[in-house]
């Protein structure tokens, strides 16, 4: 059995036991030199959903041609976990809201959700966007909780981190991009928004400044996309690589050392799941706030002069 056949038979498992079994078979194939070139398959998307009861083939549709581009609308594992995260988010927050509405003093799960809501409101939205940013609080909260749930689902057995897929993080970044522009236009007006793209320089320099300013509009969401994707993918690759060391050396003597490191990385991944959800929400609110407050800064500077 070649390493390709071995890894193809298990597709993209994330639990340590499944990865270990795959690597063990690969090591037995005496093709360990190419082992790490195939480890990325464990964090890639697939058309199979793996459960304790076996593998389930997900619906596969023929690509659709739209404006000369073939787009595949087939359901994949990451799509399923996107739906699961959305369903959990809707049910959990509705339960918390209903529970809090019946009690003046929140308790239990409702109190936990309120702690997160107050933190995002007081430490993220208001400091970055001011009081006017409270109308966007629901959007920032949705971004935070949705990313957090997707991150956490990748840490459970047979789970998958949809945020480890660059297409998912790109979609989140595109939504953030439109929200940044919409909030800026609403706060400044279309005239001030377009004037800001000139950088406030003489009209002779506009051919240089306008492309730079426009490019700057896209670099912010691009940074959001790559930051989240890289952080959520990196942890899985490190875990699989550490387990692979056991089979690379073909000795169980060193097994306790990688196992301890894997345990530590798992705890770190739990922290990173919360951290990256916070960072994405914080940076999105910061970028929105910069556009919303730029007009006020210009007016205050004009009054001071």
Asked, for residue 292, whether it belongs to a domain, the answer is yes
Q: What is the pLDDT of residue 33?
A: 45
Which carries the bigger pLDDT value, residue 58 or residue 83? 83
Asked, for residue 19, whether it belongs to a domain, the answer is no
Question: What average pLDDT score do residues 185-207 get?
Answer: 84
Q: What is the pLDDT of residue 244?
A: 75
Which carries the bigger pLDDT value, residue 261 or residue 298? 261
Task: Report whether 42 contacts 114 (CB < 8 A).
Answer: no
Q: What is the C-alpha to C-alpha distance for residues 242 and 234, in angstroms, rounded to an integer?
A: 12
Q: What is the pLDDT of residue 35?
A: 52
Q: State both tokens at 50.
A: 């793996």
pTM of the predicted model as reported, rounded to 2 decimal places: 0.80
Asked, for residue 66, whether it belongs to a domain, the answer is no
Q: What is the C-alpha to C-alpha distance for residues 287 and 223, in angstroms, rounded to an integer?
A: 12
Asked, for residue 155, whether it belongs to a domain, the answer is yes
Residue 135 has pLDDT above 50, yes or no: yes
Among the listed residues 162, 177, 161, 289, the one whose alpha carbon sits nearest the alpha carbon of residue 222? 177
Distance of alpha carbon 180 from its chain centroid, rounded?
A: 18
Per the structure, the complete domain to which residue 242 belongs is given by 76-304
Alpha carbon dihedral 15, 19, 22, 25, in 10-degree steps, equals -120
Q: What is the C-alpha to C-alpha distance for residues 96 and 293, in angstroms, rounded to an integer?
A: 33
Asked, for residue 39, whether it belongs to a domain, the answer is no
Q: What is the pLDDT of residue 304?
A: 44
Task: Report whether 184 contacts 288 (CB < 8 A).
Answer: yes
Q: What is the C-alpha to C-alpha distance for residues 241 and 273, in angstroms, rounded to an integer?
A: 20
Number of domain units in the chain: 1
Asked, for residue 14, whether it belongs to a domain, the answer is no
Asked, for residue 4, whether it belongs to a domain, the answer is no
Task: Report whether 281 contacts 147 (CB < 8 A).
Answer: yes
Q: φ and ψ at 96, to 5 degrees?
A: -65, -40
Dihedral sign computed on CA atoms, order 93, 98, 101, 104: negative
Question: What average pLDDT score do residues 260-288 get?
Answer: 91
Residue 37 has pLDDT above 60, yes or no: no
Q: Please give the radius of gyration of the chain, using alpha carbons only, rounded to the nearest integer.
A: 24
The number of helix segments (H) and strand segments (E) in the chain equals 10, 4
Asked, for residue 2, whether it belongs to a domain, the answer is no
Q: What is the C-alpha to C-alpha distance for residues 90 and 154, in angstroms, rounded to an integer?
A: 19
Residues 6+ positions from 42 with CB-CB distance below 8 Å = 12, 13, 14, 19, 22, 236, 240
Quote the mean pLDDT of the chain.
80
Q: What is the C-alpha to C-alpha distance for residues 195 and 179, in angstroms, rounded to an integer?
A: 19
How much of the chain, in percent, has pLDDT values that exceed 70? 82
């Amino acid at each position: 059995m070649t390493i390709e056949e071995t890894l193809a038979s298990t597709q993209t498992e994330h639990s340590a036991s499944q990865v270990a079994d795959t690597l063990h078979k690969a090591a037995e194939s005496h093709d360990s030199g190419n082992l790490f070139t195939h480890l990325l398959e464990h964090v890639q998307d697939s058309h199979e959903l793996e459960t304790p009861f076996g593998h389930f083939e997900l619906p596969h549709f023929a690509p659709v041609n739209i404006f000369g581009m073939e787009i595949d609308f087939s359901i994949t594992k990451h799509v399923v976990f996107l739906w699961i995260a959305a369903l959990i988010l809707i049910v959990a927050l509705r339960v918390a809201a209903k529970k809090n509405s019946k009690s003046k003093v929140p308790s239990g799960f409702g109190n936990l959700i309120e702690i997160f809501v107050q933190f995002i409101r007081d430490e993220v939205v208001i400091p970055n966007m001011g009081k006017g940013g409270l109308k966007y609080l629901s959007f920032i909260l949705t971004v935070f909780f949705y990313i957090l749930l997707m991150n956490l689902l990748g840490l459970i057995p047979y789970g998958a981190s949809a945020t480890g897929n660059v297409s998912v993080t790109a979609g989140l970044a595109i939504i953030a991009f439109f929200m940044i522009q919409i909030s800026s236009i609403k706060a400044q007006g279309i005239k001030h928004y377009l004037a800001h793209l000139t950088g406030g320089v003489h009209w002779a320099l506009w051919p240089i400044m306008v492309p730079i300013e426009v490019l700057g509009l896209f670099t912010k969401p691009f940074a959001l996309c790559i930051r989240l994707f890289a952080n959520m993918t990196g942890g899985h690759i490190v875990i699989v690589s550490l387990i692979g060391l056991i089979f690379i050396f073909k000795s169980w003597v060193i097994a306790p050392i990688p196992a301890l490191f894997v345990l530590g990385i798992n705890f770190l991944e739990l922290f990173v799941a919360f951290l990256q959800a916070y960072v994405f929400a914080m940076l999105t609110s910061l970028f929105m706030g910069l556009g919303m407050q730029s007009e006020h800064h210009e007016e205050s500077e004009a009054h001071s002069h």
